[in-house]
Amino acid sequence: MRTAGVIRFVLVLFTLVVTWLFSRTYLRDWPRSFRNLADLKPAKNKCGNIRSCAKHHFAFKIISGAANVIGPSMCLEDKMIMGNVQNNVGRGINIAFINGANSEVLKCGSFNLYAEDPTELIEFVKPVPAGTVVMIATYDEPASKLTDEARKYFTDMGSAFGKNISFRDNWVFLGVVGMNITSPYEKWIKNDAYANKYDGWPEVVEMEGCIPRKMK
């Protein structure tokens, strides 16, 4: 029995020694590896977008308002250009004009088309030169006093839905002034009493993507 016990002790000791040697030889970099893994963080894309943008492209994200409670937001190249924090959004249609060559914000405006006629909106949009990038987001009620003249400006920017938006619809859009083709960057959710997410308003609509820089 004593011999068997000694043999078992020797085998256990041998196993421990071999395990220690193996660990020291092959696993000595594990702690460092774990530290390196811990240091690896997911790359943050501009504007928090799912995908990064290629060289010579601008990242953007546009989010419509939520009912009549939370205002819309617009992000360009990781900079919030319109939103509640910036205190430059309002009920109706929110518009930002961008220099397509360097992403500089040229001007922003908010137009309450429930309480006011579209004269100010037209005066704001009319002088903008062709080739300027435009970002649009609605909030609360964007269409009660929209005229055909005002809607045509949206169509000329490449919008397919601007001519159709109506009472309390949610709409986000990115286009180019003087664009001769329909923009691929547009989303529209119609106000529908049976499908609305909120009481009297459709759900928030969100859009993100990359737009090519205007090359000189």
Q: What string of DSSP letters covers 66-106?
A: BTTTB--EEEETTEEEESTTTT---SEEEEEEE-TTT--EE
Query: Which pLDDT score is estimated for 190?
Result: 96
pLDDT tens string 141-198: 999 999 999 999 999 999 999 999 999 999 999 999 998 899 999 999 999 999 999 8
Place of tokens 């989303």: 187
Question: Domain ranges in the chain?
Answer: 2-39, 46-212
| Calpha distance 68→84 (Å, rounded) | 13
Please say whether the dihedral angle defined by the alpha carbons of residues 147, 157, 181 and 75, taken in this order, is positive or negative: negative
Query: Which pLDDT score is estimated for 149?
Result: 95
pLDDT tens string 103-137: 999 999 999 999 999 999 999 999 999 999 999 99
pTM here? 0.80
Q: Give the model's confidence band at 29: pLDDT under 50 very low, under 70 low, under 90 confident, else very high.
A: very low
Which tokens go with 58?
A: 């601008």
User: How many C-beta atoms lie closer than 10 Å to residue 182's C-beta?
Assistant: 13
